[in-house]
């Protein structure tokens, strides 16, 4: 490459987008057939640097369009419009077993996308690229309101879409890592759902009293949604992941207070002491702790703790009694929970009970446990400190980068369609009042 390539034009459209929106990365003004590397760099809130890169060959008119052209190698290959985001991984020399999670949702993720000459695989930061742009990725759409909720002893954050409403409501439950994780709720509010992210493992009340929350804690969270003037009490749903699924199924079937329009259960199981408290559920898991395995990298595999799926009805949520639609999302390579086996058993139970028409099952091959909103880096294993054990280990989540990322994109789109159909769809009984105008 002797002739200096100048005036390379690099653009990303849109330059400011939501985290789940696609973008188009376009390189123009390079020599036809020019070999180049596209590179993405992101410095996360913890100060770690993440990068992704891919090799492309410019067309006969001197352009590269990532949405149409194949990557010939790098951290992803093939035609992957969003590969520069989902294949991000910690730069060489980083601490191992990192997981990227944005905790401050009020600022965007800023990614620098650059183009380098030739097919490169390392040393990006030691060179000057041909061109570079900055892309902002937001969890919150403009006008979404973030409201901390501390009433009724809750530790939660409510995200309201812009406008007068009324909106459907969502209770958003994460898993065994605890903390108040807001990003999924922020994104759901950006899509028109009033969403309450709830901390139920490391809630203020638990930190202060040392006691885990009881079942009424979740019902109080439900009531916050039900009683909110901008939320429709008849259109409330729950979305749960991992341990959050356990709570979700429990409430859907056993709660006298929660009247749910639909539920979304991701990477979870129905196996638990029936209608047990969080504490009881966790000690049930701990009883089987000797079934924990470790692979040859010393990563912890927990999927056997709940296997085999019990036949004893007192140890499974009676999903045959479910009265609302259920979207079940599982990864077939989940190494943390036996989600695929649980899904099969749930399906069988519902078929026997005659309510399987309520079930939509999305099962993804080569996909692991952490099925999250799309276009964020994949972590096959990461440092994990379970709230109960306080031990710091590396948990194996499972999955393979490209397949898992594809599953996240598909599952998220289908989750939004499911939520819209159940929470926004159906007859708008206001028709009578409209047509009188």
Partner 1 sequence: MSDTVAPMLSVFPSRALVDENFKVVVKNLPPGCPVTLHSLHQCEDKHYWEAYGHYTSNHRGTVSVTDDLSFGGTYTGKEAMGLLWSMRPVPGSREGLRLRRRNVCSPLLVNISVYRGHVVEGFREQAPLASSLTERWYMAPGVQRTQIREKGVRGTLFLPPGPGPFPGMLDMWGGGGGLVEYRSALLGSHGYASLALEYFAPGELKSADLEFNYFETAFNIVKYHPQVMPDRVGIFGLSIGAVLTILLAAESSFVKPSCCVCISGNHLYPRGATIKEVHQVLNMKSPKIRLDENNYEIWRDMGLPIPDDLAHKIDVGRIHCPIMLVNGHDDQSWATVESSDDMAQMMRAAGNLHLLTRLHYPDAGHLIEPPYTPLFRATKFVKDTKEKVILLWGGQTKPHSDAQEDSWKKILAFLEQNLYSSPTLKAKM
Positions touching partner 1 (CB under 8 A) are: 6-7, 9-10, 14-18, 21, 29, 110, 112, 114, 128-129, 131-136, 138, 141-143, 162-168, 190, 192, 232-235, 420, 423-425, 428-431, 434-435, 437
- Closer to partner 1 at the Cβ: 140 or 221? 140
227 three-class SS = helix
Q: Which is nearer to partner 1, 391 or 436 (CB)?
A: 436
What is the DSSP track for 390-403?
A: --EEEEE----HHH
Residue 365 CB, nearest approach to partner 1 (Å)? 32
CB nearer to partner 1: pick between 259 and 385: 259
- Which listed residue (39, 299, 340, 369) is catalytic? 369
Packing angle, helices 215-227 and 243-254, rounded to 10: 70
* Residues 220 and 154: beta-carbon distance below 8 Å: yes
- The Cα 88–Cα 83 span in angstroms is 8
CB 19 within 8 A of CB 375: yes
312 is catalytic: no
| Residue with smaller CB distance to partner 1, 98 or 134 | 134
Least distance (Å) from partner 1 to the CB of residue 17? 6
CB 189 within 8 A of CB 197: no
Distance CA 329, CA 266 (A): 5
Please count the residues of the chain: 437
**Could you give the CA distance from residue 8 to residue 27 in angstroms, rounded to a whole number?**
7
Distance CA(413)–CA(154), nearest Å, equals: 30
The question of whether 369 is a catalytic residue gets the answer: yes
Looking at the DSSP bridge assignments, the partners of residue 54 are 38, 74
Give catalytic status of residue 334 as yes or no: yes
Q: CA-CA distances (angstroms) from residue 77 to 63, 71, 80?
A: 18, 5, 7
Smaller CB separation from partner 1, 134 or 361: 134
Contact 220, 195 (CB under 8 A): no
Closest to 271 (Cα-Cα) out of 295, 257, 256, 291: 291
Q: How far is the CB of 370 from partner 1 (least distance, A)?
A: 27
- Of the candidates 1, 58, 17, the one whose C-alpha atom is nearest the C-alpha of residue 34 is 58
**Residue whose entry in the numeric block shows the structure tokens 């692991």:** 368
Point out the catalytic residue in the list 20, 172, 334, 345: 334
Yes or no: say if 71 and 78 are a contact pair by the CB < 8 Å rule.
yes
C-alpha–C-alpha distance, residues 10 and 408, integer Å: 28
User: Minimum distance between the CB of residue 149 and partner 1, rounded to whole angstroms?
Assistant: 20
What is the spatial distance between Cα 333 and Cα 371, in angstroms, rounded to a whole number? 11
Q: Where are the alpha helices (DSSP H) in 271-419?
A: 278-287, 339-353, 401-419
Nearer to partner 1, 112 or 216 (CB): 112
When the beta carbons of 111 and 411 are compared against partner 1, the nearer one is 111
Provide, rounded to whole angstroms, the least separation between the CB of residue 143 and partner 1: 3
Beta carbon nearer to partner 1, 7 or 357: 7
The single residue of 242, 246, 356, 382 carrying the catalytic annotation is 242
- Please, what is the minimum distance in Å from the beta carbon of residue 131 to partner 1? 5
Task: State CA 425 to chain mean position distance.
Answer: 24
Q: What angle do CA 134, 157, 190 make, to 5 degrees?
A: 45
Token pair in block for residue 36:
């180049």
Q: Which is nearer to partner 1, 228 or 369 (CB)?
A: 228
Q: Which residues make Cβ contacts (< 8 Å) with residue 383, sequence separation at least 6?
A: 97, 98, 99, 392, 393, 394, 395
Give catalytic residues, as residue numbers. Answer: 242, 334, 369
């Amino acid at each position: 490459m002797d002739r200096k390539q100048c005036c390379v034009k690099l653009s990303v459209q849109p330059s400011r987008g939501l985290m789940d929106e696609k973008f188009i990365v376009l390189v123009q003004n390079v020599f036809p057939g020019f070999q180049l590397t596209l590179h993405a760099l992101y410095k996360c809130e913890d100060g770690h640097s993440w990068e992704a890169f891919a090799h492309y060959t410019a067309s006969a008119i001197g352009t590269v369009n990532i949405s149409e052209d194949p990557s010939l190698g790098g951290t992803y290959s093939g035609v992957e419009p969003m590969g520069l985001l989902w294949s991000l991984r910690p730069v060489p020399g980083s601490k191992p077993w990192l997981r990227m999670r944005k905790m401050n949702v009020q600022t965007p993720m800023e990614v620098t996308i650059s183009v380098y000459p030739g097919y490169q695989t390392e040393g990006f930061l030691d060179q000057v690229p041909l061109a570079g742009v900055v892309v902002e990725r937001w969890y919150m759409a403009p006008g979404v309101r973030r409201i901390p909720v501390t009433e009724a002893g809750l530790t939660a954050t409510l995200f309201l879409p812009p406008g007068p409403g009324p909106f459907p409501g969502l209770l958003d439950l994460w898993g065994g890592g605890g903390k108040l994780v807001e990003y999924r709720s922020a994104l759901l509010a950006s899509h028109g759902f009033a969403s309450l992210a709830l901390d139920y493992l490391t809630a203020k009340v638990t930190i202060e009293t040392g006691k885990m929350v009881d079942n009424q804690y979740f019902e109080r969270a439900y009531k916050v949604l039900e009683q909110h003037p901008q939320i429709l009490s008849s259109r409330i749903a729950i979305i749960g992941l991992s341990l959050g699924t356990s709570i979700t199924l429990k409430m859907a079937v056993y709660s006298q207070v929660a009247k749910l329009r639909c539920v979304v259960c991701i990477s979870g199981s129905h196996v638990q002491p029936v209608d047990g408290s969080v504490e009881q559920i966790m000690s049930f898991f701990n009883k089987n702790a000797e079934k924990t395995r470790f692979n040859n990298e010393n990563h912890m595999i927990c999927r056997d703790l709940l296997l085999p799926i019990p036949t004893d009805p007192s140890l499974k949520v009676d999903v045959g009694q479910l009265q609302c639609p259920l979207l079940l999302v599982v990864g077939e390579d989940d190494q943390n929970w036996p989600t695929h086996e649980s899904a099969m058993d749930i399906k069988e139970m519902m078929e026997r009970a005659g309510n399987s028409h309520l079930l939509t099952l999305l099962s993804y091959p080569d996909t692991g446990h952490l099925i999250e909103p799309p276009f964020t880096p994949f972590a096959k294993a990461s440092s994990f400190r379970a709230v109960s054990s306080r031990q710091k280990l590396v948990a194996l989540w499972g999955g393979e980068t490209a397949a898992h990322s594809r599953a996240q994109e598909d599952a998220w789109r289908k989750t939004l369609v499911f939520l819209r159909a159940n929470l926004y769809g159906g007859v708008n009984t206001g028709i009578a009042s409209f047509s009188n105008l």
